[in-house]
Structure 1
Amino acid sequence: MDTISALLIALICFIIMKSILEFITGGKVRFSMEMKESRFSIEIFYTLLVIYSIVIIGFGLIYFILSFHQVVLIEYEEYRDVSVLGTFIHSFYFSGVTLLTIGYGDITPVGIGRLVVLIQALIGYILPTAFVLRIVQTSNEGS
């Protein structure tokens, strides 16, 4: 893998981890809307949507960058030669399906892609828990 790809992947990982850590630790968020007299916070909900979007886009870009250096994703258990646009679409589709724990099975990771998928799936399991904990923490601070 060349230096530019490695730096891009490192930058994407940094942005993903920074976003998740700020969400979990309660970093300042720019949204100011909040429902009164409720345990549901629109601010936290919007933040969660932004975090999910960042993670899906970030991992989609990682799969896309890795696809230029090696085969990372195969479709229906066989390698298919697709265009750059097709690889781009597959990368983001697979990222979303993996993060949201749907896992249709139509696209399968191989090689280093398996390790990347494990990390993304772990994040997909942790984010809802962090969301609930954030709501509980926010409601306890308001009491």
Structure 2
Amino acid sequence: MITIILSILLLLLMGASLRQIFHSLEVEHKIFSSQLFIAVMLLYTIVMTGFGMIYTVLILEGIEVYRTGIPYRRVSWVEEFIRSIYFSGVTLFTVGYGDMLPVGVGKWLAILEAMIGYTLPAALAAKVWQSNKNRD
């Protein structure tokens, strides 16, 4: 019970910290906004889900895209989609936990997805810098 309460308190603290950062960037510096943050989160979600769908379709067509450390077993398309979204998220954010390994065509898709995930923060920084430069 104490761990649940502590976890909730830590989540609230993190949320308050993020709110403070956004507030100071919006009001004091006018270089970032909550809308921009939500747009970026939505963009990442769309890319992650899109690649997850691609991986799922390929797997359901019998094309191996990734391997796990445990023996493969047939699952429903919903479970496969959830597994593929997890693989997509780990790849997009270039975390690479090592529990899933891209194979075959999945290697090239994973490289493309990782490149997108790696360049999105740079594109965001450029957009914020450009919009701030145009305001001056």
Corresponding residue number in structure 2 for 1:94: 87
Counterpart of 1:35 in structure 2 is: 26
Count of residue pairs brought into register by the alignment:
109
Tell me by how many angstroms 1:41 deviates.
Answer: 2.3
RMSD, aligned α-carbons:
1.6
Gaps of 5+ in 1: 1-33
2:129 is the alignment partner of 1:136: yes
Q: Secondary structure at the match of 2:101?
A: strand
Hey, what's the Cα distance between the residues in 2 that align with 1:138 and 1:109? 38
- For residues 25-45 of structure 1, the C-alpha deviation after alignment (integer angstroms, 9 at most, x for no partner) is xxxxxxxxx934422222322
In the superposition, the TM-score normalised over structure 2's length comes to: 0.74
* TM-score, structure 1 as length reference: 0.70
Give the helix-richer structure, 1 or 2. 2
Secondary structure (helix, strand or coil) at the match of 1:47 reads helix
Which stretches in structure 2 are left out of the alignment for 5+ residues?
1-24
Distance 1:117 1:60 in 2: 11
* C-alpha separation in 2, matches of 1:65 and 1:109: 15
Counterpart among 50, 55, 58 of residue 63 in structure 1? 55
CA distance in 2, matches of 1:46, 1:138: 17
The structure with the largest alpha-carbon Rg is 2
Offset, 1:73? 1.5
- 1:30 alignment partner in structure 2: none
Answer yes or no: is 1:52 the counterpart of 2:44.
yes
Contact 1:44 1:135 in 2 (8 A): no
CA distance in 2, matches of 1:37, 1:47: 21
Identity between Structure 1 and Structure 2 (%): 38
Which of 69, 75, 78 is residue 83 of structure 1 equivalent to?
A: 75
Distance 1:121 1:54 in 2: 14
